[in-house]
Amino acid sequence: MKIGRRAAKTDTGRRRLRNEDDYICEPPLFAVADGMGGARAGEVAAGIAAAALEEAGAETRGAEGVIALITEANRRIWERSLADPETAGMGAVVTAALVDAAAGTVAIGHVGDSRAYLLRNGTLAQLTTDHSLVAELVESGVLTPEEAERHPQRSAITRALGTEPAVDVDSFTVAAEPGDVFLLCSDGLSMMVADEDIASAIEAADRDPARAAEALVAAANARGGEDNVTVVLFEILEGEQAEDESPEGGKSSEPEPGPDPTPSQTSEGPKEPSGSLSRHGAGPGGRIAALLLIAAVLGIGLLGLYWGITR
């Protein structure tokens, strides 16, 4: 097996002022991080988590490798919060997927309520179990899953990175199959969009990760966009990973062309700064400025002409 197309997209949403999510989309490693804390501490925590994961070497493999990466991210956030009083109490949740093409497996590790999903043969399965208050209440039979979805405390988490010197990381390995689409997302998606709608959005995008990422973020925003929303998708294909596709291959290799050749605004490979949408062209603001400039030049020209005539 090999990693096929992949894409990521992050968006501030419609209620928050800043985007405190971060992500990694650098095969064979994929991750989402969702920061929390006062002032800009949440952004700092998520950024530290992503940076720590990004340093994964080529020898980092399997569930043990993912646990090591997330444990190191925890240590760095914790130490930073001790050293910098402005970030005291900051934390982040993280969900990471590390593909081992040779073994045909995807190792998932997570802490908190960002999720990993697998779309296989048209069925979407949630792979991770949220470390959240409502997930525990569902587990113990106090709440039904439907009650949990509407619960006022549904974003209360029970585990995070950076709030304690040590962290308990959940980790497991999935045997991948050609045609699988893996989705990692922050709670800004899963709280706004039901699982069946996530599945149909990916199918409606012909399972193209870039188009699916656009559609999922749009769906979260259409339903209120109450939180930052981040999605990372990758597909598994038949065949062998090309030799030149190093662990940093996301930057050099183009994703395979999908059935729809229209350009997408979704960022792939080298990542955009958090919260920025990569829009091409001047956009509406630039167009208005250009029109004003043309009007000003015309006005000055006419004034000059008028001045010349009346003198």
Q: Is 187 in the site for Mn ion (CB under 5 A)?
A: yes
Q: Does 34 bind Mn ion (CB under 5 A)?
A: yes
Other beta carbons less than 10 A from residue 72's beta carbon:
15
SS3 228: coil
Binding-residue total with Mn ion (CB under 5 A): 5
CB nearer to Mn ion: pick between 109 and 188: 188
Structure token pair of residue 181: 């689409």
Tell the smallest beta-carbon distance from residue 230 to Mn ion (Å).
Answer: 8
Would you count residue 11 as binding Mn ion (CB under 5 A)? no
- The least distance separating Mn ion from the CB of residue 174, rounded to whole angstroms, comes to 24
Site for Mn ion in 222-251 (CB under 5 A): 227
Residue 22 touching Mn ion (CB under 5 A) = no
- For Mn ion, the closer CB: 1 or 193: 193
User: For strand 123-126 and strand 170-175, is the pairing parallel, antiparallel, or unpaired?
Assistant: unpaired
Q: Quickly list DSSP for 272-299.
A: PPTT-----S-HHHHHHHHHHHHHHHHH
From 30-38, 44-52, 234-242, 244-252, give the range in contact with Mn ion by CB under 5 A. Answer: 30-38
Q: What are phi and psi of 244, to 5 degrees?
A: -80, -5
- Nearest Cα to Cα of residue 89 among 72, 102, 77, 75: 77
What is the smallest separation between the CB atom of 275 and Mn ion, expressed in angstroms?
Answer: 13
CA distances from 155 to 194, 216, 243, 268, 311 (A): 15, 20, 43, 29, 74
User: Least distance in Å: CB of 188 to Mn ion?
Assistant: 5
CB of 20 to Mn ion, least distance (A): 7
Q: Which residues bind Mn ion (CB under 5 A)?
A: 34, 186-188, 227
